[in-house]
């Protein structure tokens, strides 16, 4: 694929978007895992929510 004389600008743009979007996805997944782990640890200690069983 020949992207002409300004190919570097095009590739850097797409790389910036890819890296940022993947970074956001990894951050969201890691945060979700951490919250679930913290919640499970508290429930293992017998500390459960009063109002709901979810």
Partner 1 sequence: MQTIMQRLANPTRFMELSARLLPWMTAVSAILLVWGLYLVFFDSPADYQQGETVRIMYIHVPCAWLSMMIYGLIALSSFGLLVFRHPLADVSAKAAAPLGAAFTFLALVTGSLWGKPMWGTYWVWDARLTSVLLLFFLYLGLIALRSALEEEGAAAKLTAVLALVGVTLLPIIKFSVNWWNTLHQPSTDFTSTIDPSMRLPLLVMAVAFTLMFFAMHLKAMRNEILRRRVKALRTQAVAGRDRFATDGATQGAAE
Are 10 and 3 spatial neighbours (Cβ–Cβ below 8 Å)? yes
Q: How far is the CB of 16 from partner 1 (least distance, A)?
A: 5
Q: How far is the CB of 25 from partner 1 (least distance, A)?
A: 7
Residues that bind partner 1 (CB under 8 A): 1-7, 9-10, 12-14, 16-17, 20-21, 24-25, 28-29, 31-32, 35-36, 38-39, 42, 45, 47-50, 52, 54
CA atoms of 28 and 22, how far apart (whole Å): 10
Q: How far is the CB of 45 from partner 1 (least distance, A)?
A: 7
DSSP assignments along 38-50, one per residue: HHHHHHHTT---S
* Strand ranges inside the chain, DSSP E: none
């Amino acid at each position: 694929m020949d992207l002409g004389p300004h190919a570097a600008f095009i590739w850097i743009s797409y790389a910036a978007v890819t890296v940022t979007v993947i970074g956001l996805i990894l951050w969201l997944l890691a945060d979700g895992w951490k919250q679930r782990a913290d919640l499970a640890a508290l429930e293992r200690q017998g500390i459960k929510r009063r109002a709901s069983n979810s």
